[in-house]
């Protein structure tokens, strides 16, 4: 049936709005789909970036992420709900001489023993060319670590559920000799603990030990370790650590800077507040402001740790952090780092810190006590087991201590209470000096020389300092 022209015009007028409506709906659906995809992408990016440290070492939790590690932070800290994991740290014996109870810490020299690496075979040698006979001990050991981690990765099959196991080689380096070490040796530990440790320096103004710096001897020790690394890389074809962390105290940062000078295109370790020495009373353990760190160590990353505040909020002028609290703090540091992709995906990791912090770390990792001289390094081969299931015996905020112990991470909203022992009633006050101690002459009587001559003797090698075992004080 044919329609007249007037009817066809009316029909076309009704069809136009219908087409517009259909087109509008299609556009709306397309826009809705696009927005959904964008939102999902942002959420995935947020999850990927929620780890404490990024793979690049430059991304941070703050919305003000700055690629320059020395850049000033701005307000606007973004917090996320912490993942609740538990971790078990186990030192694996039979790899280093330092693990063996027969090895005496006082006489052990890591630079004369290939870092203490035990000469042995590994199952993974079977898969190497010529079964590894043409490779160095360190090449075969590093291959062993990688083989173990790849086997665990195959077990996981990309799943985030269930238990995970990772193997890590940690290099724990103690700072070189500092002016506080010289002062304690000159005055003696008793006079140091009861009086001089609370001062910024000596009364004669020979030296300052607040946030103690390296002495000339300390710089020499760090340079010697630098030469040792170079020799190991050349002779043993040893690989450098993949990730670096350092205490915020000056003596540790300068030690790390000298130790790895010239070994990397850019040495940019991450400064971690929890890696510092036992804190309180002793001014040598009171750190400088973050602005000082950025001025003197511009390549060091100071924007990754939310606990690293501008001024030192951890140091207490009246109370001293006890060893068990330092152990708890270092355990939390490792739990904190295990939340980061940067740490989790690294097999070889360097930490530069202090005698007390290293002693606490060894306790966390289940390693036997092993005191280090200033400037010394101890490697520790560790198995880290991770599970999504919380340990109900401890619960959130539990303070499990020691090796082979599951601990719950405190997450990215860490506060001072999370880091330091909450009950400061167990922290120690400065001890009283003996009534018969003459503080003005105690050093002179011990060494038959004044402090200036003593410092000169230490730095030119005519005065030898005896090492002090772990006491958590320097």
Per-residue model confidence as pLDDT tens digits over 337-364? 998 888 989 999 999 999 999 999 999 9
Domains by residue range for the chain, with CATH? 86-426 (3.40.50.1240)
Distance of CA 384 to the CA centre of its chain: 15
**Mean pLDDT across 111-130:** 97
Q: What is the mean pLDDT of the chain?
A: 81
Q: What are phi and psi of 330, to 5 degrees?
A: -70, -35
Percent of the chain scoring above 90 in pLDDT: 66
What would you measure as the largest C-alpha separation in the chain, in angstroms? 127
Please determine, for residue 182, whether its predicted confidence score (pLDDT) is greater than 90: yes
* pTM score of the predicted model: 0.77
* pLDDT tens, residue by residue, 191-235: 999 999 999 999 999 999 999 999 999 999 999 999 999 999 999
Write down the pLDDT at residue 339.
Answer: 87
**Mean pLDDT across 441-451:** 97
Q: Which residues, 6+ apart, have CB-to-CB distance to 308 below 8 Å?
A: 248, 271, 272, 273, 290, 302
Write down the pLDDT at residue 425.
Answer: 83
**Mean pLDDT across 274-284:** 98
pLDDT tier, 74 (very low <50, low <70, confident <90, very high otherwise): very low
- The H or E element containing residue 41 is helix 5-48
Q: Mind telling me the catalytic residues? A: 175, 277
* pLDDT tens, residue by residue, 414-436: 444 454 445 788 899 999 999 99
pLDDT tier, 54 (very low <50, low <70, confident <90, very high otherwise): very low
CA-based nearest residue to 276, from 313, 241, 303: 313
Tokens 């405190």 sit at which residue?
410
Q: Which residues, 6+ apart, have CB-to-CB distance to 407 below 8 Å?
A: 86, 87, 331, 332, 335, 394, 398, 399, 400
């Amino acid at each position: 049936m044919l329609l007249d022209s007037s009817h066809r015009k009316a029909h076309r007028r009704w069809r136009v709005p219908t087409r517009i409506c259909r087109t509008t709906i299609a556009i709306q659906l397309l826009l809705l789909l696009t927005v959904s995809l964008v939102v999902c992408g942002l959420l995935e990016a947020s999850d990927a970036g929620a780890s404490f440290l990024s793979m690049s070492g430059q991304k941070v939790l703050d919305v003000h992420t700055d690629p320059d590690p020395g850049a000033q932070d701005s307000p606007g800290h973004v917090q996320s709900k912490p993942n609740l994991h538990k971790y078990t740290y186990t030192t694996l014996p039979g790899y280093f001489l330092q693990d063996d109870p027969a090895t005496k810490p006082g006489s052990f020299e890591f630079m004369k023993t290939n870092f203490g690496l035990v000469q042995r075979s590994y199952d993974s040698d079977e898969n190497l060319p010529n079964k590894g006979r043409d490779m160095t001990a360190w090449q075969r050991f590093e291959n062993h670590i990688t083989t173990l981690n790849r086997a665990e990765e195959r077990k996981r099959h990309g799943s985030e559920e269930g238990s995970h196991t990772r193997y890590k080689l940690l290099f724990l380096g103690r700072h070189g000799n500092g002016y506080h070490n010289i002062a304690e040796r000159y005055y003696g530990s008793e006079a140091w603990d009861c009086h001089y440790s609370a001062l910024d320096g000596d009364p004669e103004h020979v030296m300052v030990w607040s946030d103690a710096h390296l002495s000339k001897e300390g710089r020499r020790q760090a340079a010697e370790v630098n030469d040792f690394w170079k020799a190991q890389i050349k002779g043993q074809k040893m690989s450098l650590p993949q990730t670096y962390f350092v205490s915020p105290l000056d003596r540790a940062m300068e030690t790390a800077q000298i130790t790895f000078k010239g070994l990397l295109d850019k040495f940019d370790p991450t400064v971690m507040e929890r890696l510092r020495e036992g804190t309180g009373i002793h001014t040598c353990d009171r750190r400088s402001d973050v602005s000082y760190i950025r001025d003197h160590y511009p390549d060091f990353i100071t924007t990754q740790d939310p606990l690293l505040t501008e001024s030192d909020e951890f140091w207490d002028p009246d109370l001293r952090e006890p060893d068990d609290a330092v152990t708890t703090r270092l355990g939390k540091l490792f739990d904190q780092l295990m939340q980061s992709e940067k740490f989790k995906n690294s097999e070889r990791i360097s930490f530069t810190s202090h005698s007390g912090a290293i002693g606490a770390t060894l306790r966390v990792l289940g390693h036997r006590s092993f005191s280090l001289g200033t400037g010394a390094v101890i490697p520790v081969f560790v198995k880290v087991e991770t599970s999504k299931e919380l340990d109900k015996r401890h619960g959130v905020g539990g303070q499990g201590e020691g090796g082979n112990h599951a601990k719950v991470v405190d997450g990215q909203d860490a506060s001072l209470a999370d880091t330091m022992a909450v009950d400061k009633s167990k922290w120690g006050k400065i001890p009283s000096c003996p009534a018969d101690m003459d503080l003005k002459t105690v050093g002179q009587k011990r060494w038959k020389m004044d402090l200036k001559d003593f410092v000169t003797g230490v730095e030119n090698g005519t005065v030898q300092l005896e090492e002090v075992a772990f006491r958590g004080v320097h």
